[in-house]
Structure 1
Amino acid sequence: MDSLITSDFQRHGIKKVTLFKLFSVFFLLPNPGLKYMTIFRLCQKYRTKNKLLFYFYFLWLRSLKVKYGFDISYRTKIGAGFYIGHFGGIVIHGDTIIGNNCNISQGVTLGVSNSKNQGSPIIEDNVFLGPNACVFGNVKIGNNSVIGANTVITENVPSNCTVVNQKNNVIEKDLSEYYIHNKFVKED
């Protein structure tokens, strides 16, 4: 079995990959992240080795993309032990580089920026990206870092750091009329 696939299985608590365990991931146990990453790894493996197998896995990957809401390009460089905690709304640009033992939560976006930090993110080893975290541009997230929920990163984050979203700003003005249209009115 491919070492990258084995490392992903180990991050999900499966120490030894057998045919039965592989079968159970695809047909018995609902584990979308592990299923997607297994097909992702096979797609990358055969990209230059066998075009027929590459297209087979590529089409399978595309169908899983729609089914689970993962938009992770097959070109993305992802290290060993990648863990997707929950499915839905994950977008990762093809030029992004992700290190070993990284966790991605639902709603995470790793994308390009056309501003001063033009380019794609580099996520180093042992990084946790919380729900709805966004990293934009040519920025580096250092080793052993945690990016909290709903945090937007546009600048480098040093190693061994935690970044959290700032305190909410409350504006004492009712703006709901601009967003809530065609209200239901209960008749007496």
Structure 2
Amino acid sequence: MNLRELRQCVAADQFRYNGRSDRADFLRQWLRESGFRFTVVMRCCTFFRAQRWSRWGIYHLFRFWHRRQQVKYTTYISFESKIGPGLYLGHLLCIVVNTQTVIGRNCTLGHGVTLGQTHARSRHPGCPVIGDNVYLGCGAKIIGGIKVGNNAAVGPNSVVVRDVDAMAVVSGIPAQVISMKGSDGYVSNQAAEEELAG
């Protein structure tokens, strides 16, 4: 990650909270939204880890800060995970994301979401791959190498045990398709995409 990519990611993340990405709003969101603070520190860890000049100084400070936030909010999202711009963490509590999980652009993670790994003996070994503009409701569980398509939505407290098609809305234990209206209305993807393009 270079400096330009860092700025784009942080601006897209910020835009998801209030529809703005100016400096004054950055300070407002930094003070008000714990999810935004967590995301910014996580992005900075990714950036500084890629820079040779920071490997023995500022990178370790940000890594310590990130670890401290993980303990404070009981949320484990590694800065090594592949997470696209526009991440929205509305309520930063008890979120667990495996390091090898892939999350696309403009995704929303509610509190209590678990994206975990399973091993070779399971039906879907590996880690989840989450598409773009996906909404994961509070308490949703996706364990194993399950793919969630673009613009999909997973209802609160659902347990996903098979792949989710694009535009599908799933809910229940195990999760079943209840409509094909997608995440429109849950994820402000168009506005965030315009911000990334600008």
When the two structures are superposed, what TM-score results if normalisation uses the length of structure 2? Answer: 0.78
Equivalent position to 2:136, from 100, 121, 129 = 129
Q: Which one has a bigger Cα radius of gyration?
A: 1
Extract unaligned runs of 5+ from structure 1: 168-188
Higher share of residues assigned helix: 2
1:143 aligns with 2:150: yes
Q: Secondary structure at the match of 1:149?
A: coil
1:36 aligns with 2:41: no
Per-residue deviation at 1:22?
A: 3.8
Q: Secondary structure at the match of 2:18?
A: coil
Counterpart Cα distance in 1 of 2:97 and 2:58: 23
The answer for the alignment partner of 2:191 in structure 1 is none
Per-residue deviation at 1:15?
A: 1.5
The residue type equivalent to 1:45 in the other structure is F
Q: Secondary structure at the match of 1:4?
A: helix
Counterpart Cα distance in 1 of 2:155 and 2:10: 27
- Cα root mean square deviation, aligned: 1.6
Task: Could you list the structure 1 runs, at least 4 aligned residues long, displaced by more than 4 angstroms after superposition.
Answer: none
Q: Alpha-carbon deviations, 1:36-73, whole Å to 9, x = none?
A: 00000000011120212221111000111111121101
Counterpart Cα distance in 2 of 1:116 and 1:80: 30
Q: How does 1:28-107 map to 2 (within 5 A)?
A: 28-29=31-32, 31-49=33-51, 50-51=54-55, 52-107=57-112
Extract unaligned runs of 5+ from structure 2: 1-5, 175-198
When the two structures are superposed, what TM-score results if normalisation uses the length of structure 1? Answer: 0.82
Per-residue deviation at 1:101?
A: 0.6
Q: Higher relative CO (CA 8 A, sep ≥ 6), structure 1 or 2?
A: 2
Per-residue deviation at 1:116?
A: 2.5
The size of the alignment, in residue pairs, is 164
